[in-house]
Chains A and B, each alone.
Chain A
Amino acid sequence: ETGVTQSPTHLIKTRGQQVTLRCSSQSGHNTVSWYQQALGQGPQFIFQYYREEENGRGNFPPRFSGLQFPNYSSELNVNALELDDSALYLCASSLAGIAGVNEQFFGPGTRLTVL
């Protein structure tokens, strides 16, 4: 069984650019959630994907978008980068059943720096 992986580990971009972050979910998991964690803060929920559709969204603008693929891996895209987008981006996978969302398993994160 493989765990959650994310790529790249680190990324440096400039204001106005676009970025794509990638996440491979744990084997057997069908749900991927993305979180943004600013320095010294707790993670903030961006959105969740279940069966390739967005299944809940936090308080983030539309320039934050995502995709989930048939193999349940996922991408987070951020357009028109701003300095405040600098953060650790965490991906978590889980197995959603009829009763709701189960324990989420987190990847190591991607550290994004916007200059």
Chain B
Amino acid sequence: SQQGEEDPQALSIQEGENATMNCSYKTSINNLQWYRQNSGRGLVHLILIRSNEREKHSGRLRVTLDTSKKSSSLLITASRAADTASYFCAYFTGGGNKLTFGTGTQLKVEL
């Protein structure tokens, strides 16, 4: 399977703490994306990092990409209860039209 893997599977932290999620993948990629999903509903695109980038920031999000290790990390700083959700990494395979998702990390931010 080309599916990516994420760890941890689940993460529980206190509001204000930082949350780090890791993604490993198996193929060459042009870019890697991170999505958030609330309560088994639709996916919301968070950030995209291209293969020639090593780090990217967007608000409280910081994404890194290491193509030599085929891995990426998502850091959410100063977490809030509203950040409670599942987070997935995703990348295009199959000629560029098939988005392959990781297994996901369930983040719970407690007050």
Contact = CB atoms under 8 A, between A and B. Distances in A.
A103 B48 contact: yes
Nearest to B4: A42
A104 interface: yes
B101 A42 contact: yes
Given A56-B97, A103-B48, A42 B102 contact: yes
Residue in B40, B95, B96, B99 with the greatest tally of chain A CB atoms within 10 Å: B99
Interface residues of A, number: 30
Contact of B95 (A33, A43, A56, A103): A56
Interface string A24-40: 00000001010101010
Q: Per DSSP, are chain A's interface residues mostly helix, strand or loop, or mixed?
A: strand
A55 B96 CA distance: 10
A48 interface: yes
Interface string A45-69: 1001010000110100000000000
A58 B30 CA distance: 20
A106 B96 contact: no
A88 interface: yes
A12 interface: no
Contacts of A109: 40-42
A92 interface: yes
